[in-house]
Structure 1
């Protein structure tokens, strides 16, 4: 891991307050792809009867992953990105384990970025989807050299 990678990891995990609060861990990042892990803890529970993740927390993590994937296309610290829309389909319950969320670039236009995300439980060798989603982001690059 080089100095730039260490800075990106620190920024994603420790400087962004919601990521720090959730304990988001960056597992892998490259252009067009991101993989993160978020540990299970009492603050993420939405259904206390069954100890399941709150859907809003899963959506938040998926939105963050979409933004991080978009960040792999930024050309300057002054570039801007903001969520326009996010859609999440919940496919199976997320019981008391850490979640893994992966994100991939679907489309990068001159002003719009679209990412696909997939969430599954850690330690699930079959990687059955907990949720799948798509985020649409307003994407403004000040330096259009790409």
Structure 2
């Protein structure tokens, strides 16, 4: 983070911007807080989201499994965060205002979820990777596992990033 000599605009590097993104998704989005997700940024290309089991997230009370919408939500979140972080990697230094202007239209264009097994577990871990990134869109592949490594679902999504 540096300060521009000509005015009081604070310029942020990609690492500082990444912290803003992670904070926004984990602390400023009420739905993500409702889900109980915790975001760990492991690198510019690696994000991991952890979510503990809660009976409030149950889709099938007879089998105590995760609701499919919750599965899709955590996959979408990890994909979106990963797409944004990949997009700001190497961006150089920009102001928060410029970052907000450039990334104000970030959103999910399309997403497909394949449910492989019932969502059973005490904790769920979502990861994502960028498959392809262009100037305006990024395509990510996401996975959801439980704490024992059982693969519950995967998804592919396209995100508007520019």
Flag whether TM exceeds 0.5 (same fold).
yes
Match of 2:37 in 1: 24
TM-score, length-scaled by structure 1: 0.84
Q: Does 1:110 align with 2:132?
A: no
Residues 51 and 96, structure 1, Cα contact 8 Å, conserved in 2: no
Alignment RMSD (CA, Å) = 1.8
Q: How many residues align?
A: 135
Gaps of at least 5 residues in structure 2 are 1-14, 92-98
Partners of 1:104 and 1:77 in 2: how far apart?
Answer: 23
Gaps of at least 5 residues in structure 1 are 141-146
Question: Among 101, 104, 108, which residue is 1:83 paired with?
Answer: 108
Q: Secondary structure at the match of 1:77?
A: helix
Which is higher, the Rg of structure 1 or of structure 2? 2
Question: Which stretch of the first structure deviates more once superposed, 27-36 or 45-54?
Answer: 27-36
Larger helix percent: 2
Partners of 2:48 and 2:77 in 1: how far apart?
Answer: 11
Partners of 2:151 and 2:59 in 1: how far apart?
Answer: 18
Match of 1:98 in 2: 123
